[in-house]
Structure 1
Amino acid sequence: MNRLLVVLACAVALAFTAVITLQLWPLEASVPAANLAGNPKRGAYLARLSGCITCHTAPEAAALSGGSPLTSRFGTFYPPNITPDPETGIGAWTFAQFVAAVRQGVSPAGEPYYPAFPYEFYASLTDQDLADLWSAIQATPPVSRSDQQHDVGFPYNIRNGLKIWRSFFEKPHVYAAQPDRTAAWNRGRYLVFGPAHCAACHTPRNVIGGLPSDMTLAGDPNMLDGGQSPALTSSDLREKGYTVETLVRALRTGIGPDGDAFGGSMAEVVHGSTAYLLDRHLQDMATYLLDTDEP
């Protein structure tokens, strides 16, 4: 009996220690952005490029008022309302809180966001990018629509556990141009790994959601909606008959070189994002994707 009490006491002590550790585990300090004047027109384009419209707008719903559920093996995530409604959207946020959310993945309450929100890739956005995005969101009509809670099972529902996850698996994208590559290749690399965050869906996540660096753009067999995302490496794309011209056309129309239409999540990406991008940006992305070998 005494031994059982000792075991129970140890278990309680360990649980208490774990809770306190998760509460006190520090998050990376927020990096403030300069207080710049935003350009809402450029911000609206960035919202398309970065997938804000695609993710945060459900079919037949008002822009940015909340997106369709994202179903994964980790649970189902519901993109929130990010219109400037002060009660159910982000209308009560400050610009500094917006910057921390987008670049650091930290909510105004100091909680870490799930990596279903690709803040790791948005870390490369400049202060001007963020000011432009903020001005575009502020110009969006506010919509009163409450967010739905994520449906995530144990242990992924322990949000503070993300603090430890981030310490080991978070890899914020920091852009650095390769001097021996062309300007188009460098721009394409920035777009693919930055705002367009292609690697977020086209790199397989490990058992606890990390993105292995040796599998970048190799495709994910367990992607959202129970489907899979194809590999976007140069060899895979060329094997499927892609050229810069046909890849640009596919990103614009959702039709591959074999005449087959994209389905699932990629169809939504085309419809809400890549169909709106400038030709030169699509050409830059295609240039990089068809030559992904790093120097």
Structure 2
Amino acid sequence: MNRLVLLPLLAIVAAATGTIVLENWPLPAAVQVTELQGDAKRGAYLARLSGCVTCHTAPAAPPMSGGAAIASNFGSFRAPNITPDPVAGIGAWTFEQFVRAVRQGVSPRGETYYPAFPFEFYATLTDQDMADLWAAVQATPSVDRPSEGHDLRFPFNVRAAVKVWRSLFERTADYEVDASRTSEWNRGKYLVEGPAHCAACHTPRNLLGGLSSKELAGDPNMQGGGASPAITARALTAGGYTRESLVQALRTGVTPNGDVFGGSMAEVVHGSTKFLLDQHLVDMATYLLDLGKK
């Protein structure tokens, strides 16, 4: 066969084979979930704590009706409409589909979500947490506002390729109580490593967006540009933080030296941490400063 004919044919076969492999690459199987009575008020609080409101609400837009563009090295991501509208939002979903989407990063259509959605950290949410979040979603005013798609460069716009990424880099959060620590420290660990997903911004990532093992060591090259500081106990103590001043900073955005948070951390304070209970901020500060030894 003529080489000019053979090479394109081989390329077509390789592309077709790659597509078949990606489409059949396994994703986490759905796990059984107990459908409990949800508390919409607690769910709304969890939505603030977890950043749902911040990411899924564009400036001046109705709550949860879709977020502004999130810049990255791969292009721009946009959080979708998650109001209970049956067409534009997630009103047609079942509770089980909602749980699998949030905790496992798999859509009702069986597609993987991009890790810009921090499902790795939401894996620690309990069945009751999910029931409460679901109740809060149902109580949110429905908005008929179509979600905007992502704007990603090739090959990052090939969603099925994220399955391979997950096999290589996914680090699902796993929470266990440490009996040698105080209840405040353990709650803080759950909040920081789980729903608050602090490591998503404050841990370095590799060129493909995978989290490194240097947890909370700061990211000098954040996906959206800029840098995030280390928030290990040593780094925070060196920066003059005490438990009280860290709580104050998470509440107001003002640091111990009188400076203020900027960039994405300012958004986190404005949309999330300023709404948290004092006890939960104390818990987070206790864990981050490693003050919970019995």
Asked if these proteins are the same fold (TM beyond 0.5), I'd say yes
Query: How far is the alpha carbon of 1:2 from its aligned partner?
Result: 2.7
In structure 2, how many angstroms separate the alpha carbons of the residues matched to 1:52 and 1:292?
A: 29
| Residue 19 of structure 1: aligned partner | 19
Give 1:58's aligned residue. Answer: 58
Structure 1 residue 175 corresponds to structure 2 residue 179:
no
Residue of structure 2 in register with 1:37 after alignment: 37
**What is the distance in 2 between the residues matched to 1:164 and 1:279?**
41
The residue that corresponds to 2:258 in the other structure is 259
Alignment of 1:87-102 (within 5 A): 87-102=87-102
Following the alignment from structure 2 to structure 1, what is the Cα–Cα distance between the partners of residues 221 and 149? 23
Q: How far apart are residue 10 of structure 1 and its match?
A: 2.6
1:268: which partner in 2? 267
Letter aligned with residue 72 of structure 2: S
Which letter does structure 2 place at the counterpart of 1:192?
V
- Alignment match, 1:110: 110
- What does 1:113-124 correspond to in 2, within 5 Å? 113-124=113-124
State the 1:72 CA deviation. Answer: 1.1
For 1:176-211, what per-residue CA distance to the aligned partner results, in whole angstroms no more than 9, with x for missing partners?
Answer: 112222221111111101010000111111111111
Shift of 1:63: 0.9
Query: Using the alignment, how far apart are the partners of 1:61 and 1:3 within structure 2?
Result: 57
Using the alignment, how far apart are the partners of 2:130 and 2:30 within structure 1? 14
| Residues 84 and 143, structure 1, Cα contact 8 Å, conserved in 2 | yes
Aligned equivalents of 1:223 and 1:117: distance in 2? 15
3-state secondary structure, aligned to 1:226:
coil
Please give the alpha-carbon distance, in whole angstroms, between the structure 1 residues aligned to 2:73 and 2:291.
28
Contact 1:38 1:133 in 2 (8 A): yes
Q: Which amino acid is the alignment partner of residue 226 of structure 2?
A: G
| 1:157 equivalenced with 2:154 (yes/no) | no
Alpha-carbon deviation of 1:8?
Answer: 3.2
Matching residue of 2:201: 201
Structure 2 CA distance, aligned partners of 1:117 and 1:46?
16
Asked if 1:74 is matched to 2:74, the reply is yes
Contact 2:245 2:255 in 1 (8 A): yes
> Compared with structure 1, are the counterparts of its residues 76 and 15 closer, same or farther at alpha carbon in structure 2 (3 Å cutoff)?
same
1:281 — aligned with what? Answer: 280
Contact 2:181-2:292 at 8 Å conserved across structures:
no
- What is the distance in 2 between the residues matched to 1:87 and 1:282? 37
Report the TM-score when normalising by structure 1: 0.96
Q: CA deviation at 1:224?
A: 4.8
Give the number of equivalent residue pairs. 293
Comparing 236-245 with 2-11, greater Cα deviation is found at 2-11
* 1:66 counterpart letter in structure 2: G
Structure 1 residues 33 and 257: CA distance shift in structure 2, 3 A? same
- Work out the percentage of aligned pairs sharing the same amino acid: 64
Match of 1:249 in 2: 248
Unmatched tracts of structure 2, length 5 or more: none
The 2-side partners of 1:172 and 1:293 are apart by: 24
Q: CA deviation at 1:262?
A: 0.8
Instruction: Give distance in 2, aligned partners of 1:52 and 1:11.
Output: 42
Q: What runs of 5+ residues in structure 1 fail to find an aligned partner?
A: none
